[in-house]
Amino acid sequence: MSFNPLSGEPNKVVVHYKNGAVAKGTTLDFVAEKPKFHLTHMDNRIEEIEVESTKAIFFVKSFEGNKDYKEKRDFAGISPQDLRGLKVKVTFQDNETITGSTMGYNKQRKGFFILPVDAQSNNMRIYVVASALKDIKLGSNAEK
């Protein structure tokens, strides 16, 4: 479910499409196993999104983020106790790379969640669409 029970609010998401487009809004009904979800855009327009048309859905703390913050993008200096799950490094078809950890990777599934390597990231979690990937490295291979 995509409702945030801690805040009582819908999840803020930034949707990155395979074609390079980006959309920001909120969702109440994103479920990893379902092929579609609804995005309420910033102008309150509601759109049904086909998950397969996206490369990743970023669940964010804020839409603005912190432009001055330099996010850690590798495992250097990260304590193993600070990571939950298996180390992962994904490279998308457009060559964007994301590192973090996952507790739900299964190559039979259409996607999986990544927790960012940097706990101070504006991203709380990222749903990665498997068909958008060029490469995936797991465990110690993710450090290379």
Q: Are 44 and 37 in contact (CB under 8 A)?
A: no
pLDDT digits (tens, 9 = 90+) for 101-114: 999 889 899 999 99
Cβ within 8 Å of residue 21, ≥6 positions away: none
- Say how far apart CA 74 and CA 117 lie, in whole Å: 7
- Say how far apart CA 143 and CA 69 lie, in whole Å: 22
Tokens of 34: 């379902």
* pTM of the complete model: 0.91
As a whole number of angstroms, the longest Cα–Cα distance in the chain is 43
pLDDT averaged over the chain? 90
pLDDT band for position 8 (cuts 50, 70, 90)? low
- Say how far apart CA 83 and CA 26 lie, in whole Å: 27
Give the domain ranges of the chain.
3-63+72-143
Average pLDDT over residues 61-81: 83
Q: Between 93 and 4, where is the model more confident?
A: 93
Q: State the pLDDT at residue 1.
A: 43
Q: State the pLDDT at residue 66.
A: 83
pLDDT digits (tens, 9 = 90+) for 10-32: 999 999 999 999 999 999 999 99
Cα separation values, 86 from 11, 94, 113, 140, Å: 24, 24, 11, 9
